[in-house]
Structure 1
Amino acid sequence: MDDQNKNLILATALSFLVILVWFVLFPPEEPVQQTPQETAGQVQTDGGAPIAATPSTGGTAGQTGTPPTLATTAEESREIALSKSPRIEIDTPSLTGSIAVRGGRIDDLALKAYNEDLDPESPLVTLLSPVGGPDSYYALFGWAPGGALALEDVPGANTQWQVPEGARLTPDSPVTLSWENAGGLRFERTISVDEDYMFSVTQRVINTGADAQRLAPYGVVARHGEPDVTGFFILHEGVVRVSDGELEEIDYNDMPDMDFDEREAGRVNLQAVEQTGWVGFTDKYWMTTLIAEPGQSFSSVAKYTGAADIYQTEMRLPTVTVAPGESQEISSRLFAGAKEWEKIRNYEETFGIDRFVDSIDWGWFFFLTKPIFAVLHWLNALIGNMGWAIIGLTLIIKAILFPLAYKSYVSMAKMKELQPEMEKIKERAGEDRQKLQQEMMQLYKEKKVNPASGCLPILLQIPIFFSLYKVIFVTIELRHAPWLGWIRDLSAPDPSSIFNLFGLLPYTVPNLGILEILSLGILPILLGVSMWLQQKLNPAPTDKTQAMIFAWMPWVFMFMLGQFASGLVLYWISNNVITFTQQYLIMRSQGYKPDLLGNIRSGFKRDSSEEK
C-alpha cells in the first residue's frame, strides 16, 4: 500500500471517527417537560438591591414577611393569567402582546415573524408569559428603597400603576405609567419600542416631599421553572452576559450550585464592581436581555431561588439621592426577540452594546463560524434562497482552497504515473520494509512528489464542516429556510423517506426512534452516490483491506449523515461534486486520464466476486 493512499485512508478514517463519536455519543436530548410554576413572582428588596422573586398573595406592593402560598393551579391557562391585570397593548411590525398594569411587567410577548412550525397557520412563537400561567417569563423594572424608605414606599411587583386611557405601545407611541406614594414621591416609567425587538425604559422619581430620599433603580428578567432546552452540548442556553468586556455563559443546571460571589456580583459593595454591558437569558433562537446605557456602571446578578423555583438575572444600578423639589431619572434597554444576526449587529453598533453579536453562540471555532455565516448571509441576500447560498458558499470555499487542491491533484496524477516504478521497488524490497520505505522516499524526492499533499485538503475540510454545522444549528436565519421542492427547512433533516418511496406511497412514516437512521431521504442518498462516484475517479486499491474500507465509506457516511440538517448534507454533496470536477480536470491536464467508467465496472465486478 503506497504512502499517499495510507494518508488518504487515515484522514478519511479520522473524519469518520470524529463525526461518528459526535453523532452517537452526543445526540440531542429529548426535551424534558417542565411543570408550570404555581407561584407568582414578586421582587422584594434588601439593602438597596433586589433579591430573588418569592411567592406573593397579590396584596400591597412591598409587603414584608413570609407570604402564604398563592392559590394558583398549574392548569390555569395563560388567558386567565393575562386577565388578572388590566393591560396595555403592544403592537409593532415584529411584536404583539401586552404590558400588565399591575406591577408594570412586560410579560406577554409573541414574535410576528415566527411560527412554532412550518405551517403558516401554526401559533406564533411566544417569548414572554405572565405570572400564574405556564412557563412564566417576564421583565420587571423598579426601585429599591434606601435610607428611611420602606418597601411600601416604592413601586413593587404588584403596584397598580396609573396609565392614560387608551394607552397603546407602538413604535410611534410610547406609554408612561405613574404611581405616587404617601410621602410625596412620584414615580413615572416611560416605555418605548422600536420596529424590531428593542424596548427603552426610562424610570423617573420626583420628590415633592420635605426630605431627601435615597433609592436605587434596577431591572429584572425572571423565569419560573427551568425551561425546555435543546440539550445539545454544542449550544449554550441559559444566562448570557457581558461585563467589562468579558462574555460569560451559565447553564440553568449550574445556577443552583453557584456560590454567593457568583450569584450576587457586587451585592455587598455595589460601587466596587463597575460593570458595563448586558445580562439576560438566551434560548437557541430567542433572547431577553437587560442593557445599560453606554458608560453606565451596574452590577450584574444571576441567581436561582430554590423555594420558588425561579431563575433570575438582575441589573442593579447605583443608588441616587433625590433632594426635595428635584427629580432623578435613569434609562436602560430591554432586548426581547429573535437573535437575528443583522439586527443584533446593528444594535451593537448603534447603541454601543459591547459584544452583543456574541449572544449568538459561535462556539470554539468562532474565527471560522463568524466569517462563514457573514458570507452565507450576504449570499442569501444576493440570491434570495439559503439553499443556493450554501452552494455558493461551497464554491467560494473550494476556490479559496483551490491552490492546495491543485497541488494535491497534481501530486496524485504524478503518483499514478509512478505506479509501475513503485511496483518494481516493492518486488525488489520483498519483505524488507525499511528498504522499501527508503527507496520509495528516494523516488518521491527524485520526481518531486509529496505523498502527503493529498491529505491536507481533506483535513482542512473537517473544521470547515464542523463550523458550518454550528452555523446551521444555531443561527435563526437557517430556521425554516426552504431550498426547493420538498426541502422546506434547511435546519432539519431531509423529510423524504425511503420507507414511503419518497412520498409516492400515501402514508406518513412514523417516528422510528433509534431506527430513524435507516429512514434515508433523497439528499443522503445523493450524498452517498456522490462520494462513491468521487471514489471511482481513481483506480481501485490493490490491497483488499484498503479496497474494503473505500467500498464501505460512502454508504457509512450516507447513513450516518442522513439525520443531519439538510443544509449540511447539501453542502457536502456540493463539495463532492466540485471536488470531483476539479480532480478530473486537473488530473487530465497532467496527462493522466482517469477511466471512470472502467473503474465503476471493475468495482461492480469486484463487489460481486467478493459476495461469492
Structure 2
Amino acid sequence: MDKNQATGLILIALMLITYFTFFKPEVPQQEELVETTEEVTPNLELPDSTSVGAAPTLPDSLINVENQTKFGVFAAGAKGESQLVTLENELVKISIDTKGAEIREVILKNFNSKDENPVRLITDKTNEFVTQVTSMGKSIDLTELYYSANTSTISEGQKITFTLNLGGGKTVSHEYFLAADSYEVGYNLRLRGLNNDITKDEVLFNWNEQMITQEKDVEMSRINSTVNYYTLSDGFDEIAERSMEYEEEIINEPIKWSTIKQRFFLSAILAEKSFSKGKFSTDVDMANPEMVKNAKVSLTIPKEDVTASEGANFRFYFGPNDYHITSEFAEGFSKNLWLGYPPMLWVNKYVLIPLFDLLNNVLNNYGLIIILIVLIIKLVLSPLSYKSYLSMAKMKVLKPELDEIKEKHGDDMSKAQQEQMKLYQQVGVNPISGCLPMLLQMPILLAMFYFFPQSIELRGESFLWADDLSNYDSILSLPFEIPFYGDHVSLFVLLMTASTILITYSQQQVSTVQGPMKSLSYMMPIIFMFVLNSYPAALSFYYFVSNLVTFGQQVLIRRFVDEDKIRTILEENKKNAGSRKKSKFQQRLEDAMKAQAQKKGKK
C-alpha cells in the first residue's frame, strides 16, 4: 500500500467517526417501548382476565345473556357453588352434589372390595346421572344447575332437599330420603310452576355407569353382570348376562324399574307410577380389568308426573343382591338373583335357601354348613338312592340272561328288545326304575350351579385353604393359560374329579352298561374338571363332599343287598309270572315294540 492509499483510508475513517458522533439518527420510539416493557413486565401483577393467553372475563351483563340463551327460564341456576352433602346410616353412605343435585358416590359400609376397602358402588368418575327437560325447543340438563341444600333429620331417617328458585313461583326441587337400616333411597323430582315452560311431554333420565370390579375374578363377575328391567305387561327381563358384545334393548311400553346388576351388588331405580319407555345397553372393555361392564339406562318420565303438585316419586336401591332384602323392595325385584328355571328355581327357593338360613342361624362356619347341607339332602334322598342301587343289582343278576338274548337274536334288535321286555315282565323288574331316582335328584344337583356362585353370604368367607368360598381356590398359578381350564389349579375341583371317578368305578361293579357308554361315564368327570375349575370353591367343595357321602352310602347299601337273595326272588317271580298282571308302562312299551316290529316287517 502506497502513501496516498494509506492517507485516503485514514480520512474516510475519520469522516465516519465524526458522522456517527455528531450526526447519528435518533433511536425510534418503538425500540424504547420494547426495552421498557421487558424491564417492567416481571414486576407487574395483572388480574387473571388480562394474563397472556387467558380468555377475557365477560361483563356480568353478557354472562347473564349467555346463561339466558343456554338455560332459558332455568338461567337462575347457572351460577353457584359445588358442595357435597351426605346421607348416611349404618349400611350406606351417599354423597350428593349441590351442582345438579346429583349422586356422586355410594359406599357400602359392610362389604369390602378386592382391595379390602369398603365397596364404592358409585363414584363421580365412573357414574353419571343426567336429567333433561325440553324448554322452548332447547334441551336443558338439570344436573348442570346449582341448588341450595337443606338437610334435616327426622324420626324415620335423614332428608336433603335441593331447591332452585327461578322466581315467579317457579321452582325445581330434588328431595332425597334415607331411612335408618336401609339400602333404599327415596327420591322426589318436582318442577313447580313450569308446566307451560316445558314444551315436550317427557323428561329424560339417563344413567351411565362403568361397573367397578369388586371381586378378584373379573371373568366370573362379567358373566354375572347386566341390566335388568321390569315392564308392567311382561314382567322381568334382561340383557344377556354372558354376552361380551354390545347389546341393546329398546322398550316402548311402561317400565316399573331398572337395575344395573353386578354379581353381588345392585344399583336400581323404581318409579312409583312407571316410566313410559326405556332404552338399555351393555358392552365390555376386555382390556380393562378394573371395569366389569359399561351399562347405559335411558328412561322416560311423563311430564305430568314431575309438574304435578306432589312431583314424581322414585326409589333408588344401592345394596347387596341378597334374596331376603330384594324380595321386599318391589314386585319381581328378587329375580335379580337368578336362581334358575323351574324345577331348579323351586329347589333353591323352597329347599336350599331356607335350609341354608336355618343352619346359618346356628353356625358361623360356612364349610361346616355346606357339609351339613350335603348330609341332610343325602339323608332325605336315601330311599331313592337305595331303590336305584337295588335296581342296578337286579339288572346285574339278569345280565347273563340278557347277554344270552342278545347273542341269540344277533342283529335283530327289535326281536331282542321284545325278548328282554318279556324277561323283565316275568321277573318283575322295571328297567328304568334305576334311572328315575337319579332323574329326581338332578334338579338338586343343577340347582347348586345357581345357588353357590351367587350366595353373597359366602363372599369373603374362608375355609381350609380356600380364602374366599365365592371365588375359586387356587393351589398353583400357572405361567400360561390352558384353553377351557384357566391359569390356575383348583384343589377342590381335583378332589371332586377323583371322587367322581371313584364313584363311577363303584357303580360299574353293579351296572350292566357296556361298550362306549361305559367309557363315556369316565369322561364326564374330566369334562367337569375343566368346567368347574374357575367356579366358586363352595360349589366344587359341595360336590366333593356329596361324592364322599354317596360312596359311603353305596358301601353301606351293599351290605344289605344280597345278590343271591335277589336271584332267588327273581326266580320265584318268573315261576309266578302267569298270575301277575303287566304294569301299564310295560304294556305300552311292549305294544310300541310290536308296532315297530310290524312296521319293519312290512318294509
- Tell me the TM-score normalized by structure 1: 0.64
Q: Does 1:126 align with 2:94?
A: no
State the alpha-carbon separation in 1 of the partners of residues 318 and 412 from structure 2. Answer: 70
State the alpha-carbon separation in 1 of the partners of residues 306 and 231 from structure 2. Answer: 28
State the alpha-carbon separation in 2 of the partners of residues 413 and 102 from structure 1. Answer: 76
Q: Does 1:447 align with 2:427?
A: yes
Alignment CA distance shift 1:380-1:300 (3 Å): farther
Alignment CA distance shift 1:156-1:305 (3 Å): farther
State the alpha-carbon separation in 2 of the partners of residues 330 and 514 from structure 1. Answer: 53
SS at 1:181 equivalent: strand
Q: Does 1:357 align with 2:334?
A: yes
Q: Does 1:101 align with 2:108?
A: no
> 1:490 touches 1:565 (CA, 8 Å); kept in 2?
yes
Alignment CA distance shift 1:465-1:64 (3 Å): farther
Alignment CA distance shift 1:376-1:149 (3 Å): farther
Q: Which residue of 2 aligns with 1:473?
A: 453
* 4+ long deviations beyond 6 Å: 148-152, 166-171, 211-217, 225-229, 231-234, 252-256
1:241 aligned to which of 230, 244, 248? 230
Q: Deviations over 1:387-417 (max 9, x none)?
A: 3333344344445544433322221222233
Q: Does 1:522 align with 2:491?
A: yes
- How many residues are aligned here? 468
Q: Which residue of 2 aligns with 1:284?
A: 263
> 1:520 touches 1:559 (CA, 8 Å); kept in 2?
no
Q: Does 1:579 align with 2:547?
A: no
Give the unaligned 5+ runs of structure 2.
Answer: 1-65, 73-80, 284-293, 566-603
Q: Does 1:63 align with 2:31?
A: no
SS at 2:432 equivalent: coil
Q: CA deviation at 1:527?
A: 1.5
Q: CA deviation at 1:101?
A: 0.9
Q: Does 1:563 align with 2:534?
A: yes
Q: Which residue of 1 aligns with 2:58?
A: none
> 2:130 touches 2:142 (CA, 8 Å); kept in 1?
no
- Tell me the TM-score normalized by structure 2: 0.65
> 1:180 touches 1:186 (CA, 8 Å); kept in 2?
yes
Which structure 2 residues correspond to residues 255-334 of structure 1 after superposition, within 5 A? 262=250, 265=252, 275=254, 277-293=256-272, 296-302=273-279, 311-319=296-304, 327-334=309-316
SS at 2:149 equivalent: coil
Q: CA deviation at 1:100?
A: 0.9
SS at 2:445 equivalent: helix
Q: CA deviation at 1:461?
A: 4.5
Alignment CA distance shift 1:276-1:564 (3 Å): closer
1:534 aligned to which of 462, 486, 503? 503
Letter in 2 for 1:125: V
Q: Deviations over 1:321-369 (max 9, x none)?
A: 979xxx543322111222121111122xxxxx22111222334444444
Q: CA deviation at 1:243?
A: 2.9
Which structure 2 residues correspond to residues 424-443 of structure 1 after superposition, within 5 A? 425=405, 436-443=416-423
Q: Which residue of 1 aligns with 2:357?
A: 378
Letter in 2 for 1:160: Y
Q: Which residue of 1 aligns with 2:473?
A: 494
Q: CA deviation at 1:301?
A: 1.8
Q: CA deviation at 1:492?
A: 1.8
Letter in 2 for 1:100: D
Q: Judging by fraction of residues, say which structure has more helix.
A: 2
State the alpha-carbon separation in 2 of the partners of residues 304 and 414 from structure 1. Answer: 57
> 1:200 touches 1:333 (CA, 8 Å); kept in 2?
yes
Alignment CA distance shift 1:396-1:255 (3 Å): same
Alignment CA distance shift 1:206-1:287 (3 Å): same
Alignment CA distance shift 1:242-1:446 (3 Å): same
Letter in 2 for 1:111: L
Q: CA deviation at 1:291?
A: 1.2
> 2:393 touches 2:563 (CA, 8 Å); kept in 1?
yes
SS at 1:90 equivalent: strand
Alignment CA distance shift 1:578-1:448 (3 Å): farther
State the alpha-carbon separation in 2 of the partners of residues 304 and 558 from structure 1. Answer: 34
Q: Deviations over 1:280-306 (max 9, x none)?
A: 42222222222122xx24313225799
Alignment CA distance shift 1:437-1:400 (3 Å): same
Q: Deviations over 1:18-48 (max 9, x none)?
A: xxxxxxxxxxxxxxxxxxxxxxxxxxxxxxx
Alignment CA distance shift 1:101-1:354 (3 Å): same
Letter in 1 for 2:554: Q
Q: Which residue of 2 aligns with 1:72?
A: none
Q: CA deviation at 1:432?
A: 6.4
Which structure 2 residues correspond to residues 587-606 of structure 1 after superposition, within 5 A? 587-592=558-563
SS at 1:319 equivalent: helix
Which structure 2 residues correspond to residues 153-302 of structure 1 after superposition, within 5 A? 156-164=142-150, 172-194=157-179, 195-207=181-193, 220-223=205-208, 230=219, 235=224, 237-244=226-233, 246-250=235-239, 262=250, 265=252, 275=254, 277-293=256-272, 296-302=273-279
Q: Judging by fraction of residues, say which structure has more strand.
A: 2
Q: Deviations over 1:43-90 (max 9, x none)?
A: xxxxxxxxxxxxxxxx9599369xxxxxxxxxxxxxxxxxx9310123
Q: CA deviation at 1:102?
A: 0.3
SS at 1:418 equivalent: helix
Letter in 2 for 1:288: S
Q: Which residue of 1 aligns with 2:111?
A: 114
State the alpha-carbon separation in 2 of the partners of residues 64 and 384 from structure 1. Answer: 58
> 2:255 touches 2:278 (CA, 8 Å); kept in 1?
no
Q: CA deviation at 1:162?
A: 0.8
Alignment CA distance shift 1:511-1:138 (3 Å): farther
State the alpha-carbon separation in 1 of the partners of residues 381 and 437 from structure 2. Answer: 7
Q: Deviations over 1:191-244 (max 9, x none)?
A: 11132311012334555x9x9777878573511669878588964512423334
Q: Which residue of 1 aligns with 2:367?
A: 387
Q: Larger relative CO (CA 8 A, sep 6+): 1 or 2?
A: 1
Letter in 2 for 1:299: S
State the alpha-carbon separation in 1 of the partners of residues 480 and 263 from structure 2. Answer: 26
> 2:466 touches 2:474 (CA, 8 Å); kept in 1?
yes
Q: Which residue of 1 aligns with 2:287?
A: none
Letter in 1 for 2:119: V
Q: Which residue of 2 aligns with 1:342?
A: 324
State the alpha-carbon separation in 1 of the partners of residues 487 and 561 from structure 2. Answer: 42
Alignment CA distance shift 1:188-1:100 (3 Å): same
Letter in 2 for 1:330: A
SS at 1:163 equivalent: strand
> 1:292 touches 1:332 (CA, 8 Å); kept in 2?
yes
> 1:115 touches 1:124 (CA, 8 Å); kept in 2?
yes
> 1:277 touches 1:291 (CA, 8 Å); kept in 2?
yes
Letter in 2 for 1:465: L
Alignment CA distance shift 1:553-1:223 (3 Å): closer
Letter in 2 for 1:467: A
2:388 aligned to which of 405, 408, 420? 408
State the alpha-carbon separation in 2 of the partners of residues 561 and 95 from structure 1. Answer: 34
Aligned Cα RMSD in Å? 4.3
Q: Deviations over 1:567-588 (max 9, x none)?
A: 2212222332333333333343
State the alpha-carbon separation in 1 of the partners of residues 324 and 519 from structure 2. Answer: 48
Q: CA deviation at 1:94?
A: 1.7
SS at 1:174 equivalent: strand
